[in-house]
Amino acid sequence: MRVPTGVAGFDEIVEGGLPSGRLTVVSGPPGSGKTTFTAQFVAEGLRRNEPSMYVTMHETQRQLVEDMSRYSFGFETLARSEQFHFAHLADSSGALNGNGATKPSVSTLTNKLVALANSRDVERLVVDSTMLLRHMFGTDEGVTRFVNALRSVDATTLLVSEMTDPTAYADEHYLAHGVVFFHNYLEGDGMHRGVQVLKMRGTAIDADIRPIEFTDAGLSVDGERTAVA
């Protein structure tokens, strides 16, 4: 019941992978690796022929593929698989999948997404991101209800959450089954990147920050070392 992410060094620190069928939140500053992490997660599913869905308000499929092209984990090829489903929840005028003047109903959008994921028997789901959900729904309460519903989806789900308030955890961090944080920290010779599994129910984890790098093959976690930041 563990779902391997395919990110080098990561699965080892979470007993083999993410908890099956559960929601994990991914947070961190801009450029810290959130999107790459979610793309590798989906790629690993497609490699195993699992129906996998990527729902984003941030970019088109073409842009995501382009962004991942510099890595060798083969996102472009895998994305052509029949098992890959992509939904882009924004149209080109900048309105977020709905008439800018009328806000989408939380229930409607939630039900649509849950139904969509369940109908395709999706096993892996990525939702990007809470920041744009906040703009779409207009209230924190709408976002919390959406996150709550996301937990009832059968798929193993990653939700990208930007820390719009860096001083406090948001509701989704408390609602999710797992929480993974990406960090930038200053040590000795310069800026370093790290990843921290803050929470993962039903899994033996520590909350240490481990060095992580962008390599040609994608993200790579050094499970042996700990950042003393």
Binding to a second copy (CB under 8 A): which residues in 90-129?
90, 92-96, 100, 106-107, 110-111, 129
Residue 30 or 102: the one with the smaller Cβ distance to a second copy is 30
Residues 24-63 interacting with a second copy (rule: CB under 8 A): 29-32, 35, 58-59
- Give the C-alpha separation, 85 to 161, whole Å: 21
Residue corresponding to tokens 């699965």: 11
DSSP 163-218: -SSTTS--HHHHHSSEEEEEEEEEETTEEEEEEEEEEETTS-----EEEEEEETTE
Nearest CA to 153 among 51, 75, 83? 51
Q: How far apart are CB 34 and a second copy at their closest, in Å?
A: 9
Count CB atoms within 10 A of the CB of residue 2.
14
Q: Facing residues of 187 across strands?
A: 190
- Count the residues of the shown chain that bind a second copy, applying the rule CB under 8 A: 76
Residues 59-78 interacting with a second copy (rule: CB under 8 A): 59, 66-70
Angle 140-150/106-119 helices, nearest 10 degrees? 20
Q: How far apart are CB 49 and a second copy at their closest, in Å?
A: 26
Residue 52 or 110: the one with the smaller Cβ distance to a second copy is 110
The distance of Cα 74 from the centroid of its chain, to the nearest Å, equals 18
Q: How far apart are CB 38 and a second copy at their closest, in Å?
A: 13
- Give the C-alpha separation, 150 to 188, whole Å: 41
Q: How far apart are CB 137 and a second copy at their closest, in Å?
A: 11
Residue 5 or 130: the one with the smaller Cβ distance to a second copy is 130
Does residue 203 touch a second copy according to CB under 8 A? yes
- Scanning 5-13, 46-54, 74-82, 181-189 for contacts with a second copy by CB under 8 A, the matching segment is 181-189
CB 117 within 8 A of CB 155: yes
Residues 2-21 interacting with a second copy (rule: CB under 8 A): none
- Scanning 2-10, 75-83, 116-124, 170-178 for contacts with a second copy by CB under 8 A, the matching segment is 170-178
Give 122's contacts (C-beta < 8 A, 6+ positions apart): 51, 52, 53, 85, 153, 154, 155
Candidates 12, 72, 202, 217; binder of a second copy (CB under 8 A) is 202
Q: How far apart are CB 110 and a second copy at their closest, in Å?
A: 6
- Give the C-alpha separation, 128 to 8, whole Å: 22
Residue 77 or 107: the one with the smaller Cβ distance to a second copy is 107
Residue 47 or 145: the one with the smaller Cβ distance to a second copy is 145
